[in-house]
């Protein structure tokens, strides 16, 4: 069974940066990992995804140019570097993983695509 534990969230001012980490334990042949977020009163949305074997990366339009998804050298840690943060980035951020690839087009951005979810880490950006 795969377990995902996020860390690195916190409170920052607009324009600041945070780096989220996701520690992976347990074994699963996972092919796609990513980050989702959910703000109060809103649906969960895909932020970024990484094809573990192919190395391809995928980003929501809101994240392009500001966020970077990456994998640690030991391949048991996933990161999300977030720069130029905005108040609208305030949300609970979740690490996700699945055996399947990241899919075609925006498939990776569907919450239903991912089987494994962490508990989340809160990010709050003040103006």
Chain centroid offset of residue 100 CA: 16
Task: Give me the residues paired with residue 20 across strands.
Answer: 80
What's the rounded Cα separation, in Å, for the pair 115 and 83? 28
Q: Quote the pLDDT of residue 74.
A: 72
Burial bucket for residue 43 (CB in 10 Å: 0-12, 13-18, 19+): exposed
Count how many Cα atoms sit within 13 Å of the Cα of residue 72 in the half-sphere of its side chain.
12
Task: Supply the pLDDT for residue 47.
Answer: 98
Q: What is the pLDDT along the chain (127 residues), one digit of tens a residue?
A: 889 999 999 999 999 999 999 999 987 777 899 999 999 999 999 999 999 988 899 999 999 999 999 998 777 899 999 999 999 999 999 999 998 889 888 999 999 999 999 999 999 999 9
- CB distance 60 to 48 below 8 Å: yes
Q: What pLDDT does 104 receive?
A: 87
């Amino acid at each position: 069974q795969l377990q995902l534990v996020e860390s690195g969230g916190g409170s920052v001012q607009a324009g600041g940066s945070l780096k989220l980490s996701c520690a992976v334990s347990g074994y699963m042949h996972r092919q796609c990992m990513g980050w989702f977020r959910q703000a109060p009163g809103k649906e969960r949305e895909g932020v970024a995804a990484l094809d573990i074997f192919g190395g391809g990366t995928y980003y929501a339009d809101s994240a392009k140019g500001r966020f970077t998804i990456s994998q640690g050298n030991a391949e048991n840690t996933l990161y999300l570097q977030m720069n130029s943060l905005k108040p609208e980035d305030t949300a609970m951020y979740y690490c996700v993983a699945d055996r399947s690839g990241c899919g075609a087009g925006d498939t990776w951005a569907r919450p239903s695509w991912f089987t494994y979810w962490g508990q989340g880490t809160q990010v709050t950006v003040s103006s």
